[in-house]
Amino acid sequence: MRSSPQAERRVRGVEHDLRTQPKWRRRERVTLIDNLSGSVVWHFEGGEGRVVIPLAKWPDLSGNVLTHNHPAGWRFPVDDPRHAGSSFSIDDVALIAHFGLVVLRAVSPGYTHILRQSPDPGNLRGPLPRRTTDHREVSLESSTTTIARGGASIVMDGIQVSWC
Ligand SMILES: [Zn+2]
């Protein structure tokens, strides 16, 4: 499943705010967008390194589009290579693999990072995707199911994910 044009439009507006409002240089915000209507389902705000999605909201993730910001790069001056910021954590990848998101996006000062659900959900073997710091877009060609089996909770740079 691909993200819809209306969800793409909405996500660009949400990410414009994440890029331009000074507040989001110090805090994270995660936004879920309904893939069919393009409307915002919810936002949650957190601190500089973390935002939590409440357990009761996890069922909303399936089939929809999630974006959030990685503000840590703002700690560095703009001429410092670290200013561009970090891409997905392995835990971000677990989020898309296990909760059925269509697209997971992250905004850092220098990039927009995009993970798309594999078009072939039966293709669930293979190495973990490499970290994507140097790439603007990565297709999730292979699954990451092994990393999330048997765990209870992980806290990623941006989002807390738990399962049982
Ligand atoms: Zn993240």
How many structural domains compose the chain?
1
For ligand 1, the distance from its centroid to the CA atom of residue 46, given in whole angstroms, is 12
pLDDT at 142 over 70: no
For ligand 1, the distance from its centroid to the CA atom of residue 17, given in whole angstroms, is 17
Rounded CA-CA distance 150/112 in Å is 31
Q: Tell me if 105 sits within 8 A of 114, measured CB to CB.
A: yes
For ligand 1, the distance from its centroid to the CA atom of residue 146, given in whole angstroms, is 19
Rounded CA-CA distance 83/119 in Å is 33
Tell me which DSSP letter residue 58 carries. G
At 124, which amino acid appears? L
pLDDT at 132 over 50: no
Domain that holds residue 32: 5-162
Element at 161 (helix H, strand E): strand 159-162
Tell me which DSSP letter residue 119 carries. S
For ligand 1, the distance from its centroid to the CA atom of residue 77, given in whole angstroms, is 21
For ligand 1, the distance from its centroid to the CA atom of residue 101, given in whole angstroms, is 14
Q: Tell me if 31 sits within 8 A of 66, measured CB to CB.
A: yes
Q: Which CATH number fits the domain that encloses residue 13?
A: 3.40.140
For ligand 1, the distance from its centroid to the CA atom of residue 37, given in whole angstroms, is 24
Highest-pLDDT range among 65-79, 119-133, 138-152? 65-79
Q: What is the pTM of this model?
A: 0.73
Which tens digit of pLDDT belongs to each residue from 26-83?
999 999 999 999 999 999 998 887 788 888 888 899 999 999 999 999 999 999 999 9
